[in-house]
Amino acid sequence: MKNWPWYGYLVLAVAVFALVFFFYFKPKGQELDTLRADRVKLEKEVQDLKVKKQELDKIEAELVTMGQELRKLEVIIPQQKEISDILRRIQQLAFDARLEILKFAPRGEIRKEFYAEWPIPIEVTGNYHNLATFFDRLSNFARIFNVENFSIRSIQKQTDAVTISSSFTAKTYYFIEPTAPSPKAKPR
C-alpha cells in the first residue's frame, strides 16, 4: 500500500466512505426519516386529541349546566307524583285562603309521551276574595297546576264568609321515567 499512487489512496478513501455511507449513514438516514414521519404523525394525533379534549370539556360543562337546569325543572315537574304531599299542600292553601274543601277526588293519571297528567277535581265554598286568594297562591305553587272546567255559582244560604261554591279540576304533571327495553329471549 505504501507504493500506491495518490489516486489509489483516493479510490480507497472513496470506497471506504461509500461503504460507510451505504452501510451506516443511509440506514440511519432512513431511520431518521421514519422517526420524523412518526413524530409528525404523533404531533397530529396530539393536536386531534387536544381538540377532542376541548370538545369533551365543553360537553362536560354543558352536561353540568343541563343537570342544574334539570334539578330546577324537577321542582316544577317532578319525576314522581306525591299524592299525600299535594293533598296536604292544596288543603293548606285552601285553609289559608279560608275556603272549605267539599270534594277532593284525584283521578287516575293520563299518560303522554314522556310525562303524565294528573287531574284532581276539587269543589270548595267560600267567597270571591278567598277563591281569588286560593288561585293566586296555587299559581305561585312550586309545581305546575292548570285549572280547567272552572265553574262558580252562588249558594242559597249565604253568610259573610260563604257566598259561593266553585268546582274545578286542578291538573298537575310529572315526568315518566323512560323504561329500558327488556332484552329479548334468544331463540333456541
For residue 182, is it within any domain?
A: no
User: 93 and 54: one domain?
Assistant: no
User: 119 and 158: one domain?
Assistant: yes
Q: What is the pLDDT of residue 55?
A: 94
* Segment 169-187, tens digit of pLDDT: 988 887 776 665 555 555 5
For residue 188, is it within any domain?
A: no
User: Could you give the angle at which helices 83-96 and 128-139 cross, rounded to 10 degrees?
Assistant: 140
Residues 143 and 133: beta-carbon distance below 8 Å? no
**77 has pLDDT over 80:** no
**57 has pLDDT over 90:** yes
User: 69 and 35: one domain?
Assistant: yes
Transcribe 68-125 into DSSP letters. Answer: HHHHHHHHHS-SS--HHHHHHHHHHHHHHTT-EEEEE-----EE-SSEEEEEEEEEEE
CATH of the domain at 133: 3.30.70.60
3-state secondary structure of 3: coil
**Cell triple for 94:** 285552601
Confidence class of residue 29 from pLDDT cuts 50, 70 and 90? Answer: confident
How far apart are the C-alpha atoms of 113 and 115, rounded to whole Å?
A: 6
User: 24 and 107: one domain?
Assistant: no
Please indicate, yes or no, whether the overall pTM of this predicted structure exceeds 0.75. no
User: 41 and 99: one domain?
Assistant: no
Segment 46-55 shows an average pLDDT of 94
Largest interatomic CA distance in the chain: 146
Range of the domain at 46: 7-76
Compare 35 and 26 and report the one with higher pLDDT: 35
* Segment 113-147, tens digit of pLDDT: 778 888 889 999 999 999 999 999 888 877 778 89
Q: What is the pLDDT of residue 185?
A: 52
CA atoms within 13 A on the CB side of 147: 18
Task: Give the CA-trace dihedral at 75, 77, 80, 84, to 10 degrees.
Answer: 70
How far apart are the C-alpha atoms of 58 and 62, rounded to whole Å?
A: 6
Q: What is the pLDDT of residue 62?
A: 93
**53 has pLDDT over 90:** yes
Question: CB atoms < 10 A from the CB of 133, how many?
Answer: 18
How far apart are the C-alpha atoms of 172 and 78, rounded to whole Å?
A: 10
Q: Total structural domains in the chain?
A: 2
Segment 52-66 shows an average pLDDT of 92
Residues pairing with 146 in the sheet: 171
For residue 1, is it within any domain?
A: no
User: 72 and 89: one domain?
Assistant: no
Compare 108 and 125 and report the one with higher pLDDT: 125
User: 162 and 97: one domain?
Assistant: yes
